[in-house]
Structure 1
């Protein structure tokens, strides 16, 4: 009995520590986000604030000798849920009717990015002198945790895969918002005051509707996880928002509802925090290691810009929309930037959702090639 009670106490203390750290990260992210908003970088100020806060918090803990910390994946899932619900509620059903005509582009884009990623992975494996599978996993534009776990399952270079994936994700999250804000300049006059006013100005009715929607979304996400839907927290939340919006269109009740700004702000912060935590776990990376990991990332970004140019030639979409569509990573973040800067959110959302599904569904094909890759690697030259 004593051991059971002690285990329960230890678990409670660990849980308290995890969420205590998260609270500190959120407070730091709010302060950093307000500073970035004041400079005019409001398109992704809270996501970037979350990244900085996560890195600072985890690095500080490691300095004091706490090495048992792990990135809070539940926090990122909560962020995906909140941002996904906001996106679903913001999509215009009238605009969705034009998307089927562009389906070939939406399907061709992830295939192009995957093939180019495979080519970059092959080049990178030769330059870095690593096995081909590690190179492919490092340069496939997918989820960081998924690619790293596959590398671990097959006893590949997990550290290198994680580093390249993390560098890719962070580079996209930093570079694309800067391009977006340069393309669509925003007024910085009273920007901080406007954000605070939006957060505070929420009615009890909207708050009750938001809590009801969140409860429904949690149930749908739970079912989505049971059905093995990739990124269920994000995709299922978008679906709930779309269905709720469709219900309002046919309902006799006239309600103009959007998720309160406080929920959006917290969602963006939580998206960034986990990425910062990953960087905080790797404070001793050498400069040369980071530079080498940038090589495949730069190639992937260049490929994405070339794809954006091609798509702009084939469609009537503006340049910024094409960049957000082809950005190699950060689907929730790219869609959110499109929503914030009033770009073609429907187009960006459809492109990223189809890309997420295509990449995740094609992973079994990549893993099916593992025996052939291993056999090739063992053959004498």
Structure 2
């Protein structure tokens, strides 16, 4: 009976928090469900009203809500890694590889600067400056034990800067298209697939995601529910398309990713406390300057790629901007840029960063903690 009551209290807390997500989407933010839910959950976490007590001794919402959110997000990202993405990488591998290397180097440098000047711990600094997406990085940081308040704020600063400036800037570069809207319609071939077929495909993807999660846990990947599910779906979806001889479209409604954002936002927000926000003014300033430098660096690289390769400037800017996949992809459709290339680069950036950097951060943190322990032992 106690478990049922705990689940109901968690559901009630998440529902109340999701009101913030809905209000933020009214402002036109595609990631508003996550941002608004996180904000409202944080307010409720500080306020702690009697009717929203999650249980005695419980610090925030139960962790399985975060894992469910990561699992859904992993399946969503995995579906974006298709044959066209891989062929795009094959055709432009050097350009994309340099961009990925620049992203990793700059995120490490920004993390070191934030660590030294922002007075935060190293793990939190690195997760905050990594351009892997707000949902992914905040979720992985929560599992790794980083300060999720700082990570979420630094990630939000970059997302707001990119989403608030890049689409507007490229709209000026593409006169005549800025007022158009993109209708995200379902592919025609998906209409001819029966609901039973689509549900079967969804079931196959979920099984693949579970298998990927199991493999990721065995291999000691960070955030196995996110990375494992993403890789499992990325492997199985092209195989099913190869067997079918045509693109396949599982039943995967848009509200699934909304649920993912709500679960992740509510869980992270529910764990916020006053101690996390000490010295945040310094962190905000350093994070803001770091994000501006990062964006300018990637814009410069996008311009250079456009000049050297002859690639459309708008396509290059949207592909290499350190923003979200959904935001940059939608803008590319509206402005008639090469949306396949934009999605390919953005997905590959997220996938590469999520696979390489979290284990590296953990290794560096472990090494530094070990040195500190050894130093303190010799001193004593």
Q: TM-score, normalised by structure 1?
A: 0.70
SS of the aligned residue for 1:341 comes to: helix
Matches within 5 A, 1:123-142: 123-125=117-119, 133=122, 136=125, 141=130
What's the CA shift string for 1:17-68, capped at 9, x where partnerless?
2234435555764x447634xxxx3xx52x3123313433563474413264
Check 1:52–1:207 CA distance in 2 against 1; reply closer, same or farther (3 A cut).
Answer: same
8 Å contact from structure 2 (residues 329, 343) kept in 1: yes
8 Å contact from structure 2 (residues 325, 343) kept in 1: yes
Give the aligned partner of residue 14 of structure 1: 6
Give the aligned partner of residue 306 of structure 1: 296
8 Å contact from structure 1 (residues 77, 234) kept in 2: yes
Q: Say if 2:201 is the partner of 1:216.
A: no
Give the aligned partner of residue 286 of structure 2: 296
Q: Say if 2:201 is the partner of 1:228.
A: no
In 1, Cα distance between the equivalents of 2:84 and 2:151?
30
In 2, Cα distance between the equivalents of 1:320 and 1:234?
28
Question: Residue 308 of structure 1: CA displacement?
Answer: 0.5
Give the unaligned 5+ runs of structure 2: 172-177, 333-338
Greater RCO (Cα-Cα under 8 Å, separation 6 or more): 1
In 2, Cα distance between the equivalents of 1:223 and 1:148?
21
Give the unaligned 5+ runs of structure 1: 1-8, 153-157, 328-332
8 Å contact from structure 2 (residues 216, 228) kept in 1: yes
Check 1:221–1:146 CA distance in 2 against 1; reply closer, same or farther (3 A cut).
Answer: closer
Match for residue 352 of structure 1 among 350, 353, 357: 350
In 1, Cα distance between the equivalents of 2:84 and 2:262?
23
Check 1:136–1:12 CA distance in 2 against 1; reply closer, same or farther (3 A cut).
Answer: same
Check 1:69–1:231 CA distance in 2 against 1; reply closer, same or farther (3 A cut).
Answer: closer
Question: Residue 360 of structure 1: CA displacement?
Answer: 2.0
Question: Residue 294 of structure 1: CA displacement?
Answer: 0.9
Match for residue 163 of structure 2 among 172, 177, 192: 177
Give the aligned partner of residue 258 of structure 1: 249
Check 1:116–1:79 CA distance in 2 against 1; reply closer, same or farther (3 A cut).
Answer: same
In 2, Cα distance between the equivalents of 1:202 and 1:289?
55
Size of the aligned set, in residue pairs, is: 338
Give the aligned partner of residue 175 of structure 2: none
In 1, Cα distance between the equivalents of 2:10 and 2:290?
35
Give the aligned partner of residue 336 of structure 1: 326
8 Å contact from structure 1 (residues 95, 346) kept in 2: yes
Superposition RMSD in Å: 4.2
Q: Say if 2:276 is the partner of 1:278.
A: no
8 Å contact from structure 2 (residues 241, 247) kept in 1: no
In 1, Cα distance between the equivalents of 2:325 and 2:219?
24
8 Å contact from structure 1 (residues 80, 267) kept in 2: yes
SS of the aligned residue for 2:324 comes to: helix
Give the aligned partner of residue 246 of structure 1: 238
Q: TM-score, normalised by structure 2?
A: 0.70
In 2, Cα distance between the equivalents of 1:90 and 1:258?
14
Question: Residue 110 of structure 1: CA displacement?
Answer: 0.2
In 1, Cα distance between the equivalents of 2:286 and 2:66?
26
Matches within 5 A, 1:1-381: 9-23=1-15, 25=17, 29=21, 31-32=22-23, 35-36=26-27, 41=28, 44-45=29-30, 47-57=31-41, 59-60=43-44, 62-65=47-50, 66=53, 68=58, 70-71=60-61, 72-89=65-82, 91-102=84-95, 103-125=97-119, 133=122, 136=125, 141=130, 143-144=137-138, 161-182=147-168, 183=170, 185=178, 187=180, 203-204=194-195, 205-248=197-240, 250-251=242-243, 253-260=244-251, 262=253, 264-275=254-265, 277-279=267-269, 281-282=271-272, 290-316=280-306, 318=313, 322=317, 325=320, 327=322, 334-342=324-332, 343=339, 344-363=342-361, 364-372=363-371
